[in-house]
């Protein structure tokens, strides 16, 4: 039996809720409140940062190893990203539920209309499923590589390599028992962090990948309105459909406003920490002080380009909205009053919201390329001087 689009959408939400539930941030629950697990996770992240500072103290002051700063900062960047997503979800829980509920209502309403509507609904679901499975593969591969490499060297060569770059006061990482305790703690932090980051990413991807769906439905509605305009007899029905289109455009603007409000801080933290992580990881690779650095570098670049790509999706959707209003709608067959409203709608669509990193940088592939140029220049400098 073929699954409906709305049932597939609900299945996606269920997967996301399962992942974020590990961190106590199941904000899709209408009765959600911060509870014991949420506070434990926040406390654990703070404890991780404290241990990172202790690790830097041990490395720099006691062992005179300045490279530990690079390793610690690279890993701490991911922890900062996870904390930003957690706090954002918790503080904007009601708004996120509202946006999610709006999308679910759209799927329920247009599932029954068949034709082009159903095709576009399933198209967006397929895109999200492909993106989600790609990120499941990325997270699984990176976590597995970071865990298995130190364990293999410990079992095969008795070399005590760490999974993550932080020490815990009171645990002797040079002893066998202390090392096992430490890497067990590292593995737990890594797995919980992966679930939390993945769940936060999927919430954002769910909201952004469905933005073009609003444009697709908008296009089908325009085509239906055009059919009425060509008949030139059903004024009341045409008038009703035109105002429905206007309301649909306002719904699109509202969703964009809500999505930007929720995630603009996350975007800033994500981009800034991703760049710091990449720079630190590249330095570690050149100095050959962190064996699993290439895997972590790959992850950091994937995150950087994926998040910038989300901004490009919104930019392209805004442009398509403008094109649909101008070129698809037979606006010249509308009454003069409606034509004036079309002009206002067109003007609004030409100055639509775009995603930004805390209103500092526009989120787009162009931004990603500019950041990559800077990272490349930094890498060439290291190559020449190290």
How do residues 192-238 score in pLDDT, each as one tens digit?
888 888 988 888 899 999 999 998 998 888 888 888 888 776 677 88
pTM: 0.87
Any idea what the Cα angle at residue 266 is, between residues 57 and 291, rounded to 5°?
45
Cα atoms in the Cβ-side hemisphere of radius 13 Å centred on 7: 5
Q: Environment class of residue 102 by beta-carbon count within 10 Å: exposed (0-12), middle (13-18) or buried (19+)?
A: middle
Cα angle for residues 173, 178, 179 (degrees, 5° grid): 60
Residue pair 82/197 in contact (Cβ under 8 Å)? The answer is: yes
Phi/psi of residue 289, nearest 5 degrees: -115, 0
| Tens-place pLDDT, residues 228-251 | 888 776 677 887 888 888 888 888
pLDDT level of residue 97 (50, 70, 90 thresholds): very high
Residues 139/198, Cβ–Cβ less than 8 Å: yes
Q: How far apart (Å, rounded) are the C-alpha atoms in residues 78 and 384? A: 29
Average per-residue pLDDT for the chain: 86
Instruction: Quickly list DSSP for 240-299.
Output: HHHHHHHHHHHHHHHHHHHHHHHHHHHHHHHHHHHHHHHHHHHHHHHHT--TTHHHHHHH
Please, are residues 108 and 178 in contact by the beta-carbon 8 Å criterion?
Answer: no
């Amino acid at each position: 039996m073929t699954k409906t689009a709305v049932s597939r959408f609900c299945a996606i939400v269920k997967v996301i809720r399962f992942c974020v539930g590990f961190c106590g941030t199941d904000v899709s629950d209408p009765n959600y409140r911060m509870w014991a697990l949420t506070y434990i996770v926040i406390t654990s992240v703070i404890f991780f940062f404290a241990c990172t500072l202790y690790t830097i103290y041990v490395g720099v002051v006691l062992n005179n190893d300045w490279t530990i700063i690079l390793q610690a900062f690279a890993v701490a960047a991911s922890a900062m990203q996870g904390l930003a997503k957690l706090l954002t979800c918790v503080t904007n829980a009601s708004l996120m539920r509202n946006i999610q509920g709006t999308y679910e209502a759209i799927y329920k309403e247009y599932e029954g209309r068949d034709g082009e509507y159903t095709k576009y609904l399933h198209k967006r679901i397929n895109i999200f499923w492909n993106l989600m499975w790609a990120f499941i593969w990325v997270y699984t591969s990176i976590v597995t590589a970071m865990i298995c490499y130190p364990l293999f060297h410990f079992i095969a060569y008795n070399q005590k390599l760490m999974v993550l770059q932080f020490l815990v006061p009171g645990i002797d990482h040079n002893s066998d028992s202390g090392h096992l305790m430490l890497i067990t703690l590292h593995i737990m932090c890594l797995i919980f962090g992966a679930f939390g980051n993945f769940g936060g990413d999927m919430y954002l991807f769910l909201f952004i990948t469905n933005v073009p769906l609003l444009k697709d439905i908008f296009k089908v509605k325009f085509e239906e309105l055009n059919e009425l305009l060509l008949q030139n007899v059903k004024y009341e029905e045409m008038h009703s459909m035109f105002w429905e289109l206007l309301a649909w455009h306002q719904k699109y603007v509202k969703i964009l406003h809500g999505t930007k409000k929720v995630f603009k801080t996350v975007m800033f933290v994500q981009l800034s920490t991703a760049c710091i992580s990449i720079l630190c990881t590249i330095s570690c690779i050149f100095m050959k002080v962190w064996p699993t650095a290439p895997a972590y570098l790959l992850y950091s670049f994937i995150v950087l380009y994926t998040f910038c790509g989300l901004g490009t999706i919104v930019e392209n959707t805004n442009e398509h909205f403008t094109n649909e209003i101008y070129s698809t709608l037979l606006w010249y067959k509308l009454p003069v009053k409606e034509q004036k409203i079309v002009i206002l709608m067109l003007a609004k669509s030409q100055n639509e919201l775009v995603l930004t990193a805390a209103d500092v940088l526009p989120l787009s592939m162009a931004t990603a390329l500019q950041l990559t140029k800077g990272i490349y220049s930094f890498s060439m400098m290291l190559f020449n001087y190290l």
